[in-house]
Amino acid sequence: MIWLPEAIVLAGALASLAFGVLGRRSSPRAAMDLALVFTLAALLATAALAGTVVEAFAGAFRIDGVTLSFQLLLLVGTALTLLLAREDVGAPAPATGGAAPSGGVPAEHAGEYAGLLLLAALGGMLIAAAADLLLLFLGFELLSIAGYALVGFRKEDPLSTQAAVKYVLTGATATGVFVFGLSYLIGLTGTTDVYAAGEVIASPGFMERYGRLIFLAFLFLFIGAAYKIAAFPFHLWAPDVYRGAPTPVTMFLAVVSKAAGLALIVRLYLGAFAWTHWVGASGLRESFLLKSGPVVALVSGFSMVLGSVLALRTRDVKRLFAYAGIAHAGYLLVPLAAANPSMLDQIVFYLLAYLLASAGAFAVLRRVTEESGTSDLKAFAGLYHRAPWSAWALLLFFLSLAGIPLTMGFFGKWYLLVGAAWGGHGLLATLIVVTSVMSYAYYFAVLKQAFLRPGSTERPIRFRGAEVAVVLIAAAGVLLGGLLPGEVLRTIAQAFDAAHFFGLYDGRL
């Protein structure tokens, strides 16, 4: 039963949807609790699979280190999202009445809210587990389509529904690009298996003949998938969508969607392309990595710089998270560009740090925007006086996101730097440092409001129980990762015992 975690999440999604239809009269939040229970069960089931490497469904479904670590990340992110979303159900419309980046979803849609969140998470889990090009694509679509609906869940607010339209249109265009690349890859290799496609690409004479088209296919696939992590060419949807979506959904897009998109890129890039070697026409050994590396580096570099520059210019905190997220997508691609033996450890460690710090920051952000009805920087003014502990927690999360020493985020960036230098990408390493310094500036702008500026009111902010829980879990994780980075990294590295992911190239093939 290696597909047990997926089955549990699916059961949870269906149960939540059914609950939404049948159990409406009882507390609407019960649907979220139900979904949370299933998510935690799936988390346990995934953890129980640790260390297994096995395939099912004639090789389309594969459990290995990549699958399990990404699935754990996705499930943790989903559980935190559900905790926050629990407070969203039936929450009042913003005090301002009209368009505002706050406010909850209608209570009668609680079941659909939970169900679609779990379906989206299931899409992400399928991406992580897929060793089949078509299954990767279908998981990608499941995640996207559930996401489109989730963004528009605050139906009374034009910001939310317009964000949904923008998200659908950009996402559909990216899907079109992805499908076109997929069509050449599947058509030319004649197989939908990721690793078998890689094997065909590496077969003698294939690249001489079809190399140009395969490279184009790689470009289309990579650019289409970059949309999901909000990296450069397809990054422009992020600010508007992040702002308009319900805050828990924003967090889901920033954290779970990004992790799933990265799983897609990792499986596709490392499975079918990067590791293929062949003997060229001149008799020399050639590898795809040399051709594709510069493309990945370009996307990564542009994302880092563009995200940071735009983040400096915004005054809206949700948009700031979107721009910062673009920069983080750039960081996350660095290990792939600067390919080195421990690049998967670096990606997962950084993702974990990003996930925890973002989740905590979004929990604080949610309460603050609900209180003030706006997500402008000014909403944070006087936070230190209104809820001191949350201001300190925010400080911790932002220090981690910016990469200040002694936090988990610092070690994440440090590993990226070491990896980039190891892979001989001095320019990327420099960009990491420069954009990190820029990130101090934009994160500090929020902290300045929270600690130094007087608010319009001194009224204390009362956090809801679930929000406190998210903040505490995130803070504990960030501190733990910051104090014991070596232990965390070692645990991650164990999952990526070379035999798990790359063993395919030595043993079975």
Question: Which residues, numbered 287-326, are part of the site for other proteins (CB under 8 A)?
Answer: none
Contact 376, 102 (CB under 8 A): no
Among 2, 53, 156, 414, binds other proteins (CB under 8 A): 156
Which of 297, 154, 139, 151 minimizes the C-alpha distance to 225?
A: 139
Distance in angstroms (rounded) separating the CA atoms of residues 6 and 60: 14
Using CB under 8 A as the binding rule, whether residue 145 contacts other proteins is answered as yes
When binding is defined by CB under 8 A, the residue of 193, 286, 345, 467 that contacts other proteins is 193
Q: Are 413 and 403 in contact (CB under 8 A)?
A: yes
**Range in contact with other proteins (rule: CB under 8 A) among 76-84, 166-174, 281-289, 320-328:** 166-174
Q: Which of the residues 45 through 84 are near other proteins (CB under 8 A)?
A: 57-61
Q: Of 121-140, which residues contact other proteins (CB under 8 A)?
A: 122-123, 126, 132, 134-135, 137-139
**Interaction residues for other proteins, span 18-37 (CB under 8 A):** 24-25, 27-28
Our CB check for other proteins shows the closer of 199 and 345 to be 199
Closest CB 55 distance from other proteins, rounded Å = 11
What is the full DSSP assignment across 444-480? HHHHHHHHTSPPS--PPPPPPHHHHHHHHHHHHHHHH
User: Which residues contact residue 51 at a Cβ distance below 8 angstroms, ignoring those fewer than 6 apart?
Assistant: 495
In the bound complex, what is the minimum distance in angstroms from residue 108's beta carbon to other proteins? 7
Phi, psi of 153 (to 5 degrees): -70, -25
Position 457 contacts other proteins (CB under 8 A)? no
For residue 116, give Cα distances in angstroms to 110, 249, 382.
10, 11, 36
Q: From CA 72, how far away is CA 75, in angstroms rounded?
A: 5
Specify the DSSP class assigned to residue 108.
G
Shortest distance, position 103 Cβ to other proteins, whole Å: 10
E strand segments, 193-322: 277-279, 285-287
CB of residue 293 to other proteins, shortest distance in Å:
20
Least distance (Å) between residue 195 CB and other proteins: 6
Closest CB to other proteins among 276 and 342? 276
For other proteins, the closer of residues 31 and 356 by Cβ is: 31
How far apart are CB 152 and other proteins at their closest, in Å?
Answer: 5
Q: How far is the CB of 98 from other proteins (least distance, A)?
A: 8
Would you say 223 or 343 has its CB closer to other proteins?
A: 223
Looking only at residues 88 through 117 of this chain, which bind other proteins when binding is defined by CB under 8 A? Answer: 90-93, 95, 97, 99, 106-109, 112, 115-116
In order of 22, 41, 44, 87, 148, the CA distances from 16 in angstroms are: 10, 15, 20, 16, 19
Instruction: By CB under 8 A, tell whether 366 contacts other proteins.
Output: no
Q: Does residue 149 bind other proteins (CB under 8 A)?
A: yes
- Cα distance between residue 283 and residue 275, in whole Å: 18
Q: Among 32, 45, 84, 159, which residue interacts with other proteins (rule: CB under 8 A)?
A: 159
The residue (of 103 and 481) whose beta carbon lies closer to other proteins is 103
Q: Which of 63, 84, 114, 166 binds other proteins (CB under 8 A)?
A: 166
CB atoms within 10 A of CB 454: 11
Read off the DSSP letter of residue 92.
P
Of the pair 206, 440, the CB lying nearest other proteins is at 206
Judged by CB under 8 A, the chain residues 205 through 244 that form the site for other proteins are 206, 209-210, 212-213, 216, 240, 243
119 contributes a contact to other proteins by CB under 8 A: yes
Burial class of residue 79, CB neighbours in 10 A (0-12, 13-18, 19+): buried
Task: Give me the numbers of helices (H) and strands (E) for the chain, helices first please.
Answer: 22, 4
Applying CB under 8 A, which part among 159-167, 266-274, 347-355, 444-452 lies near other proteins?
159-167
Nearest to 43 by CA among 73, 17, 15: 73
Give the HSE-up count for residue 383: Cα atoms under 13 Å, Cβ half-sphere: 26
- The least CB distance from residue 8 to other proteins, in Å, is 14
Angle between helices 465-483 and 408-422 (to 10 degrees): 50
Site for other proteins in 170-189 (CB under 8 A): 171-173, 175-177, 179-180, 182-184, 186-189
Contact indicator for 69, 345 with CB cutoff of 8 Å = no
Site string for other proteins, 382-421 (x = CB under 8 A): ----------------------------------------
CB of 142 to other proteins, least distance (A): 5
- Smallest distance, other proteins to C-beta of residue 316, A: 8
Q: How far is the CB of 296 from other proteins (least distance, A)?
A: 19
Block residue for tokens 């926050």: 84
- Which residue, 211 or 479, is less far from other proteins as judged by CB? 211
User: By the 8 A CB rule, do 230 and 461 touch?
Assistant: no
Alpha-carbon span 285 to 346, nearest angstrom: 28
